[in-house]
Structure 1
């Protein structure tokens, strides 16, 4: 489509403004361009080489080439590079260099790296790669051996700055940008650059080493591009030169006895098979798979973690998973040879595969279950159904690992529990799932940790000594126990689970993190008991459990540790949400001191606890779960809580409690809470007066959410509709009810929303703009320029608009009549403002001219008033 560029023109006041009629903000020194496509008013920033930038470029290149000048920081250089990349995407790089010879001079100057700072050298290498990505520009830069001096093996390795990681990283990134066409591949093969990349795989900088491996994968894929279009794939010996060199290097590395070289080769192959989806990968795997399999014959197996990643990458490949030379045999051998800790991730990954032989799935699942089966056997528990413990050599290896050291035992158990927890939630979860043995194993692990297990063998005794008080294993076991609540369990197992959970919750030795996990697992098992009973009420066993749990909860609400008090309050909130309406639950809760203690924690010294107390008490009172016995005291307590929450909203020094209060108030308003419904206008007015002064933007956003709920409910009240009425669709929206408009003008609602509309925090302004759009569509659907000019109270509307747009928000907006309010909504360009707010906050200042001016100003090349620092 034809494009029209919208540019900035000087204004009379020395600023610049758009020469269109749009209401975009002004900004000094903006050299931005906007693009209107197809005649529509859709504008997106387009960075182009305008005349002013062309004028500034020679001076900037001279500064960058001068080692005596203080070079701009890395952020400026990154922005400059991004701009050049954008220019090369829309313009000819060759034409750009021909029109601006200073750029070629800069690239030529960095061939003498002793005269250039390392950051400029890194920048120039990446810039040269971006230019050379276009083949005609590549040929242009080849003249005079410029590219050979920058990227050739003889040039780069001789630089003193080569010892700096950022220079090596810039060299790799430049090569990656350059490699886009056949000429670049020939250059890579002939210049020795590929050999340099091989050496950089073992770079001491992890960033450089990773980038080198990624570049090799990219070069290999580029070399083989177009080689699989219908014709048979030749053997590796007939592949392009670059591809042959990379494959040969990988083969040599796999033959190496040094583990780092083997790791590098496996990482390259993992990335290759993970990214590429071409038939030539089958040829590559067929040639290299024997070398990969030979690694299993070494003792110990080198780079075991990288080997696992490679095999899973190959197994996930749609090309290789269905090929004749698929990875299944090597996968089975590897599962058998790896240690239990190493085999766990491979077993889990194998069970996640879509295409996997059933025999291999069975083997992988057995390996995952092996540590828990050993725990059951060591503690004289039944090993469960066949297959849970198969008596192979792997079983003895797992026992040795569990008993070898505390770190090995803890690491293996935590890994196993996490893997099984993840597996149970997946569609590929094995069936049948050994629910009962796994429950027994999780419970016995928790008993080993808290010291309540009765060891019956020397192995069990050693496990007790190893796991006693181990918080890591306790957390992992509680997470796994919570996940097991999704499966069907007999009543005896549920009683066993409730017993161990109660023991962890009441134990004085339980850490705050263990208690939090125990609360979470308890909630999941209580929900599971509901499913088991077939209704929404708690089962009798669960109610008995709650009778024992509430005294423990009282104790935890009085804990000296704030994390424990916070977790207990969160648990109480969830309990009330799920079962606050059940009579038996209400009776158990109200017979305890839990509601009273929750109210007392509204004055807790810790802000997180106060926030959780607000949520808990708000939920309790919305369900009528007060601890007071008489109705009059109930009413007084409810009103007291409302005023307490109002006080927190107005005075609390921390944002978390204030946010929690707004969430409770919004929910109360939405649910028609009695205290709110008694005088809704007073409630909304009081809340907005407090929120309008709040410095926390999340509180202000939540205040706008409360306004949204109020408007929706008020509109519904003034627009009753009969569900049985059959009416024709109206041509226009109905006129808003006068009483609705008077209600809006009577409250400080508009002043609050307009303050939010001009808020310095963009989420607040966006929410306010959306809210005004909703209100305008409901109350002022018909709008036009003539209506705005000729509407009632037009003078006051214009004054109000001018005052608010200029940021004079210290003065009140003043009383608005309904007609003036409607005129105000019609006159605002809310759609335009919504689009402007959707942009990033720096969309005006982010311009190439501004960037060049700022970089030159830092070295005194420009007068101060020419720079537009951002």
Structure 2
């Protein structure tokens, strides 16, 4: 320990032990614990206590009945556990009966402070740190701590209860690991029989058995959570013996009606199934199959989905699990009038009776079942281990049917169908889930008539005035995915004839939605327009239809929308339309509308005048894309374009705009150097590039940005200047022979900027001076400093101790390092 810290420690311990002193906040105590943990990890805890007896005195002091704050008591418990994690220090603290006084029955367990969850949590965390060696197991058994942990599993504080369960698992792993690893190969290493288990482990297992046999569902839940943690985090072979011992009791839970703690049971079975040690047990798969049969569809869904995500699983169980997931959708198809020949989801389905047994009569439960089913299938669809054959056509039919139930256009075939329609009509939650699932299904097409129905129902939702903004957004997203999936061949920019017809209808819908009074709808419409233009802006049919509509004009008008999010989306749309030559046409002589701005002028106006950051950021992204892609408005006078944009970006108050400005400058530099390869650029090309960069004042912007108060700006500037320096020939090369350039003005300016002074602009710069300054700057060190996390400048332990003491007036102001 640092000598100065050792000097300050007695005073700090005295402050912590004094109930009259307002000790520093929890953050300081956490930092203090972190420091002690680092000190003990690096050396001997016993030596630390022997050299600093004030720490032992503090721990003894908190044992006394007094009015200590719960925060200090919790801190002391965790601190004692940190020290006792080393066995020799544990024995040292045991000699003075300190540990029983902190963690035993004569400690805080019987005191008034125990009512504070902070103290109970500190007690658990202290024991968790302490339980690292065999001596700790004996202490836990003899002190009665294990019984307290059992009781804390049902603590009203969820954090305390969860920590208690995790501590039990840790103790069980510590107790079982040593004996299991100590057995030789001839004894069956790791496969301990129940009679060989240590007493502490056997006690925990007996407790778990009692909980599993309990009629109280909370106790069953506690045991299942402990076992889930054990099988998920402990990878010793002893877990096999634990499963053999307890799996019959787990299976017996299925005999109860209703099954207790079904969600916890599902989590346990999935945890065991994912264990490489246990997944080969045939009894496990039999229990899983029984569980799928006994639980309700809502309860069994997560188990079925989890089983289907496993790489290795019996085929019969996979079929059963997939049937569990498909059954709710099969019921939906049964409840609706299906056209002849429409494929079903499950063979041998019991018609309407199956729907009665599967779909809950409660609206909330039914909605939850359908949403969870669609979500599970959505996650399964792209996985390589998804069930095969994948029932694409029936799933499409089910998704379309659900959406029609929700908008009231479905034709129920029975009383149950009518009831289902009444529950789902207008249900936004189910609409969102079904649209998400429908979008995922676009990765595999279906029969022509079903694809036609897909586009029809999507158009219904896009046209309907009843569609909420979030539903509309998802309908736009699903439509885009289906249009992309309809390209012929895939990834081609041309669309099949049917999709081209849909596209025309979509433009009419879009024209209406861009005029919506709801800003979220206008925003979603602009995003959809941008994506369509990006994908099909070069396709003749799309171009003709778009230019014949009012959509480009409406998109341009939304650059003045009162909502900044909409203006930002309008900027992105305008940028994409202009790139494709699809922006709003100038006014005709018959319909004059005043002077018409070009897209470049419109977006420059946004960049220089918009009061919100979102539209200005969007404008910078568009300008960078234009420069990178060689937009016609940029190609006319690239230097003038870059200079105008950088002039606006460099003075912007939004750091993201400044970062994007530096990105644009980097793209410009890369284009100036052309195909120079990875090494240094030819002297002629480099000199021309430097002169161009000077003309557009890139260096004024970049050098100032090195000292920007926003770190991402400084990092981007480093990237730009390092890239340029890498392209310059090494110092002292023949082409640079001659007089040394005058870099004093630039270096003076950099010193002022580093000190926070704005100073005068750099003015005209010679390329040679730029290179000399670049070589004089330690850009690598600056980049490394900027790459560190925002809290890398941590307070030293000495500073932390001084600040805590200064808070209570123990130190003078000149000795503190508060900030």
Give TM-score, length-normalised by structure 1. Answer: 0.89
Report the Cα offset of residue 113 of structure 1: 4.7
> 2:372 matched to which residue of 1?
415
Identify which range, 553-562 or 139-148, moves more after superposition: 139-148
> 1:375 matched to which residue of 2?
332
Where does 1:726-741 land on structure 2 (aligned, <5 Å)?
A: 737-741=686-690
Where does 1:119-518 land on structure 2 (aligned, <5 Å)?
A: 119-229=71-181, 230=185, 231-232=187-188, 233-323=191-281, 325-381=282-338, 388-391=346-349, 396=353, 398-400=355-357, 402=359, 404-518=361-475
Indicate if the aligned counterparts of 1:681 and 1:747 stay in contact, CA closer than 8 A: yes
Query: Separation in 2 of the partners of 1:267 and 1:793?
Result: 72
Indicate if the aligned counterparts of 1:339 and 1:397 stay in contact, CA closer than 8 A: no
Indicate if the aligned counterparts of 1:371 and 1:413 stay in contact, CA closer than 8 A: yes
Cα 1:410/1:606, change in 2 over 3 Å: same
Report the Cα offset of residue 845 of structure 1: 4.4
Query: Separation in 2 of the partners of 1:359 and 1:101?
Result: 66
Q: Secondary structure at the match of 2:66?
A: helix
Q: Secondary structure at the match of 2:721?
A: helix
What per-residue deviation string (whole Å, max 9, x for no partner) do you get for residues 686-715 of structure 1? 111211221111111111111110110011
Residue 852 (str. 1) matches residue 801 (str. 2): yes
Indicate if the aligned counterparts of 1:754 and 1:768 stay in contact, CA closer than 8 A: yes
Cα 1:422/1:579, change in 2 over 3 Å: same
Report the Cα offset of residue 457 of structure 1: 1.6
Cα 1:761/1:737, change in 2 over 3 Å: closer
Indicate if the aligned counterparts of 1:649 and 1:657 stay in contact, CA closer than 8 A: yes
Indicate if the aligned counterparts of 2:461 and 2:472 stay in contact, CA closer than 8 A: yes
Report the Cα offset of residue 242 of structure 1: 1.6
Query: Separation in 2 of the partners of 1:157 and 1:645?
Result: 68
Query: Separation in 1 of the partners of 2:398 and 2:804?
Result: 65
The partner residue of 1:774 within 694, 700, 723 is 723
What per-residue deviation string (whole Å, max 9, x for no partner) do you get for residues 207-264 of structure 1? 0000000111111111111434433223123211221111011000001100000000
Indicate if the aligned counterparts of 1:401 and 1:408 stay in contact, CA closer than 8 A: no
Cα 1:638/1:277, change in 2 over 3 Å: farther
Identify which range, 192-201 or 483-492, moves more after superposition: 483-492
Indicate if the aligned counterparts of 2:334 and 2:355 stay in contact, CA closer than 8 A: no
> 1:622 matched to which residue of 2?
579
> 1:835 matched to which residue of 2?
784
Indicate if the aligned counterparts of 2:337 and 2:411 stay in contact, CA closer than 8 A: no
Indicate if the aligned counterparts of 2:177 and 2:238 stay in contact, CA closer than 8 A: no
Q: Secondary structure at the match of 1:667?
A: helix
CA RMSD across the alignment = 2.4
The partner residue of 1:715 within 673, 679, 687 is 673
The partner residue of 2:645 within 680, 687, 692 is 687
Report the Cα offset of residue 553 of structure 1: 0.5
What per-residue deviation string (whole Å, max 9, x for no partner) do you get for residues 613-637 of structure 1? 0001100000111342799999x99
Which structure has more relative contact order (CA 8 Å, sep 6+)? It is 1
Report the Cα offset of residue 287 of structure 1: 1.0
Report the Cα offset of residue 812 of structure 1: 1.5
Identify which range, 625-634 or 689-698, moves more after superposition: 625-634
> 2:4 matched to which residue of 1?
52
Report the Cα offset of residue 789 of structure 1: 14
Indicate if the aligned counterparts of 2:534 and 2:576 stay in contact, CA closer than 8 A: yes
Residue 861 (str. 1) matches residue 819 (str. 2): no
Gaps of 5+ in 1: 1-48, 722-728
> 1:663 matched to which residue of 2?
621
Query: Separation in 1 of the partners of 2:477 and 2:10?
Result: 64
Report the Cα offset of residue 364 of structure 1: 0.7
Query: Separation in 1 of the partners of 2:417 and 2:74?
Result: 60
Cα 1:484/1:387, change in 2 over 3 Å: closer
Gaps of 5+ in 2: none
> 1:673 matched to which residue of 2?
631
Query: Separation in 2 of the partners of 1:373 and 1:582?
Result: 40
Query: Separation in 2 of the partners of 1:556 and 1:628?
Result: 21
Identify which range, 134-143 or 456-465, moves more after superposition: 456-465
Cα 1:413/1:795, change in 2 over 3 Å: closer
Report the Cα offset of residue 278 of structure 1: 2.0
Report the Cα offset of residue 814 of structure 1: 2.8
Give TM-score, length-normalised by structure 2. Answer: 0.95
Cα 1:783/1:338, change in 2 over 3 Å: farther
Indicate if the aligned counterparts of 2:343 and 2:393 stay in contact, CA closer than 8 A: no
Indicate if the aligned counterparts of 1:788 and 1:823 stay in contact, CA closer than 8 A: no
Report the Cα offset of residue 736 of structure 1: 5.3
What per-residue deviation string (whole Å, max 9, x for no partner) do you get for residues 654-682 of structure 1? 11101100000000000111111212222
> 1:100 matched to which residue of 2?
52
Residue 698 (str. 1) matches residue 656 (str. 2): yes
Query: Separation in 1 of the partners of 2:728 and 2:106?
Result: 75
Indicate if the aligned counterparts of 1:385 and 1:434 stay in contact, CA closer than 8 A: no
Report the Cα offset of residue 770 of structure 1: 1.4
Q: Secondary structure at the match of 2:617?
A: helix
Query: Separation in 2 of the partners of 1:301 and 1:359?
Result: 24
Cα 1:360/1:688, change in 2 over 3 Å: same
Indicate if the aligned counterparts of 2:679 and 2:727 stay in contact, CA closer than 8 A: no
Cα 1:295/1:831, change in 2 over 3 Å: same
Indicate if the aligned counterparts of 1:259 and 1:303 stay in contact, CA closer than 8 A: yes
Cα 1:674/1:77, change in 2 over 3 Å: same
Cα 1:63/1:733, change in 2 over 3 Å: farther
> 1:550 matched to which residue of 2?
507
Query: Separation in 2 of the partners of 1:818 and 1:758?
Result: 22
Query: Separation in 1 of the partners of 2:791 and 2:349?
Result: 65
The partner residue of 1:812 within 743, 751, 761 is 761
What per-residue deviation string (whole Å, max 9, x for no partner) do you get for residues 468-501 of structure 1? 1111111111111111111131221111111111
Indicate if the aligned counterparts of 1:669 and 1:676 stay in contact, CA closer than 8 A: yes
Indicate if the aligned counterparts of 1:485 and 1:524 stay in contact, CA closer than 8 A: yes
What per-residue deviation string (whole Å, max 9, x for no partner) do you get for residues 362-384 of structure 1? 11111111111111111132696
Report the Cα offset of residue 804 of structure 1: 2.7
Query: Separation in 2 of the partners of 1:839 and 1:789?
Result: 40
Indicate if the aligned counterparts of 1:435 and 1:487 stay in contact, CA closer than 8 A: yes
Q: Secondary structure at the match of 1:347?
A: helix
> 2:487 matched to which residue of 1?
530
Report the Cα offset of residue 860 of structure 1: 0.7
